[in-house]
Structure 1
Amino acid sequence: MINRLAVMLLACLVSIGVAVAQPADPLPSWNDGAAKKAIADFVARVTRDGGPDFVPPAERIAVFDNDGTLWCEQPMYFQLAFAIDQVKAMAPKHPEWKQKQPFKALLDKDTKALAESGQKGLLQIVAATHAGMTTDAFSKSVTDWLSTARHPRFERPYNSLIYQPMLELLAYLRANGFKTFIVSGGGVEFMRPWVEKAYGIPPEQVVGSSGVVQFETAKDGKPELMKLAKIEFIDDGAGKPVGINRFIGRRPIFAFGNSDGDLQMLQWTTAGAGARFAGIVHHTDAAREYAYDRQSKFGKLDKALDAAGVAGWTVVDMKQDWKEVFPAKPDAKP
């Protein structure tokens, strides 16, 4: 926790022009090795004024996937865990769900039938739990869930299962004039209520999948934004470069992902002129987190891993490259 606060304070001081001495090691949770060196060398190159690879601060855009890159994504995407809990809470008001799939499978804990419902079933669950309410009400439902829900394996809040090494990397980049963005396949309104506190990334720097939102006037005459059961934009796979172009407006020079859903974002980032960095978090640590890649139902890493080998992207081996995975538990004694 102390390391996290220190690097965040450093980034804040630099952002307002206060001269501060750089810490001896801005990435203390990273083991010395090729991945850590590649990051440090790249940052040094693009920030060396007068150097051949110098990039002006305004163009130092760094983008990060969220699920599996900044926080854990197993045994299922955390937004899906939220949606499932919401279905259970809403079920008494929807008796028809007892006979309607995929809700019946979920309520019966029939994992096979739920899996067979595929993406269509997932979208039905998300639509039922993410629509028909105002954006303010939805934001509150997310923060309320995060305050009470616990991960089934680690038995701690989901938003505490963020990666300590990536927190340090985000702060390190910001301390060197980068602007950091989240570009995720997850729902933008699911992420925005909590990411600033967790990562130091403000809500306006979050790009994600979104549903249609409609302006309405409530009965009391106050304006409100109502979430509708209709998908507007899927920010995954080939959608990520589109989302970057639409909502950021600059091609990044630094990108980190962990799955095939990030492949096109990494390709788009590295296709630009000048110095470029692409990184992949490879989940190899079954003891401290999870070990998975090509066969995983969540965060599948197959084509992107092959592409990294061909293109020379930096692959971070979680087991070998990280001294720590998660920050200390919130209730841990100092």
Structure 2
Amino acid sequence: MKVELILKKITHNWFPKCLCIVSAVALYMFAKTSRLETKTYSIPLVIKEDGNLCRSTLLPSHVNVIIRSEPDNISGIQNGDIQAVLDLSYYTKEGNYNVPVSASLASNVNLSAPVELTVYPEKISIDLEERVRKGVSVEVPIYGNPKHGYEVEQIKVSPQQVVISGPKSMLENINQVSTVELSLEDRKENFNDVKKIRAINRHISLVSSENVNVSVSFKASLVNKTFNNIQVGMTHLSPHLEVASVPEVDFTVSGSQLIVEKFFPSEQNVQVDCSLITGAGEFTLPITVNIPDGLKLESTSVENVKITVKENPVPVNHASEVNVNGSEQ
């Protein structure tokens, strides 16, 4: 009987009673939620790519996460307590997908309810392509000029090739990567250096080592130079004879730039041996070109010169010195 009485009391006017309960709950929830605050956080977007596909779309580096909770909870949340993840590892075929962004609090963050997390944008449109690998050559860009008189002989890079990974469509047109620039300014001694390979873009990664060894060797700069109108020196000419008109010749040498720059030829460098001439007349004699060690004679304007020799009318003082063309000093 007691149970029946209790049931009758509960069910008596049940609709108004239910309405009152619902209203009370609604008022409680309204009062509770009216105290909630919101705060927006800019969170780095974490990309998970564990499959054979990779993104070929430029993605935002950060997303906004809006947290709605009680003031005490809001004040205790830091950026590092929130994680935003774009998980691409579930996709197995190439194509365009609207991938949802998930946001969550770190496991060590304990907050009293309610806590609402909303991420913006909720989804990101992304193109997924097959991930491939490719071997490409390494280029070392240089700047600056070696020390005067020297030039680069050889630049060796080890390894000469590295492996990169990324979307197939992007790797098709990439055949070379470059390192940080290497300075050769005012250098002449061989040296070795380690240079880092520059990043191509956010979609392409370097599979092998990011550093390469660079070996640089130098050599003396070689030049050609032509000397014009150099007088021919007459050697071993009898003091009783003289040359009516001294000829001139041109000649070209090659060798180290530093040696060539210091070479100033004179009649001492271009000579004719007159030891066989005993009297006046016209003679054709071969020339001899003397050049410093380290230089090479490339050519001469003539191999033989014609000279006219005549008797020297000036009496010769045997005590005086005689120059190369037979005139007294």
TM-score tier by shorter-chain length is under 0.3
Larger relative contact order, structure 1 or 2 (CA cutoff 8 Å, min sep 6): 1
TM-score, normalised by the number of residues in structure 2: 0.17
Higher strand share: 2
Structure with max Cα Rg: 2
TM-score, normalised by the number of residues in structure 1: 0.16
